[in-house]
Amino acid sequence: MDFAQFLDTFFNWEAMAQVIPSLLTVGLPNTLILAVLSGIIGCVLGMLLAIMAIARNAVLRWISRVYTDIFRGLPAVVTILIISIGLGPVVKDITGSSNPYPLGIMALSLMAAAYIGEIFRSGIQSVEKGQLEASRALGFSYGSSMRLVVVPQGIRRVLPALVNQFIALIKDSSLIYFLGLLASQREIFRIGNDATANSGNLSPLVAAALLYLLLTIPLTHLVNYIDNRLRTGRPEKKQPDDAAALIGKGAQP
């Protein structure tokens, strides 16, 4: 009986079937919108932070370090609540709208920028110094050398880490439910959690977890593929079969 109760609590297929349409039509699109938009904004801000972190100006380096330490040191929930409570009234006064969705994207973007900035910085600084010196010897300015030679190589080296950060954004998007989103703005976790609260059964939450796995596991394997491809390069083209070469020369089998 205990095992049957366990199955009914976590794997009630009827309860899962009721929540799956909402997960796919509402939760999945909102989760992807939150992750993709915050990832794009985070990449732009992160690149700016990385450039500031390696700049010759000490003030810029200090600003980048303080920003990174703060947003990497605070728990994600605290950052989201501070932004929503602190900036929510300001945004409402300016726009006349209390829609929390943009604030959620802003919170995720600011947090992602701190991590992505460190990823970009480590990738740029991993490029050999000779690359910069060679481009300067060819007549490039310092800015052109960084923009055209060093930075592209650094980004290529940290692609696996960037995909890992996108996976983290998909999971962190579940924390936006603290902002009190509208029914049409709910992400995967909020839909599963609401269905669990209404039914008293944990199966909808398990369905939400399975959908997260369907999103993150392929991306994890993509990270492994990219990392292996960057380390090993393109596979060598197969040479003609040795036996076929002998036959072409008239050799006896």
Specify the CATH number for the domain of residue 98. 1.10.3720.10
Domain membership flag for residue 79: yes
Residue 66, domain extent: 2-248
Interatomic CA distance for residues 187 and 251, integer angstroms = 69
Residue 60 forms part of a structural domain? yes
Question: What gap in Å lies between CA 14 and CA 217, rounded to an integer?
Answer: 25
pLDDT at 29: 94
pLDDT of residue 8: 80
243 pLDDT more than 90: no
Q: What is the mean pLDDT of the chain?
A: 84
Task: Answer yes or no: is 136 within a domain.
Answer: yes
Asked if residues 174 and 148 have their Cβ atoms less than 8 Å apart, the reply is no
Residues contacting 244, CB < 8 A, separation 6+ = none
Q: Give yes or no for residue 117 having a pLDDT over 90.
A: yes
Highest mean pLDDT out of 12-16, 195-199, 213-217, 239-243: 213-217
Cβ contacts of 174 within 8 Å, gap of 6 or more: 31, 187, 188, 189, 190, 212
Looking at the domain assignment, is residue 126 inside a domain?
yes
The whole-model pTM stands at: 0.83
**Residue 125 within a domain:** yes
Location of structure tokens 């992505």 = 116
The model's confidence at residue 128, banded by pLDDT at 50, 70 and 90, is confident
Distance CA 187, CA 29 (A): 8
Q: CA-CA distance, 226 to 156, in Å (whole number)?
A: 10
253 found inside a domain: no
- Is residue 219 within 8 A of residue 167, CB to CB? The reply is yes
Total domains in the fold of the chain: 1
Residue 234 has pLDDT above 70, yes or no: no
Kindly report, residue by residue over 168-190, the tens digit of the pLDDT: 999 999 888 888 777 788 899 99
Q: How far, in Å, CA of 132 to CA of 142, rounded?
A: 8
pLDDT at 225: 83
Q: What is the pLDDT of residue 149?
A: 85
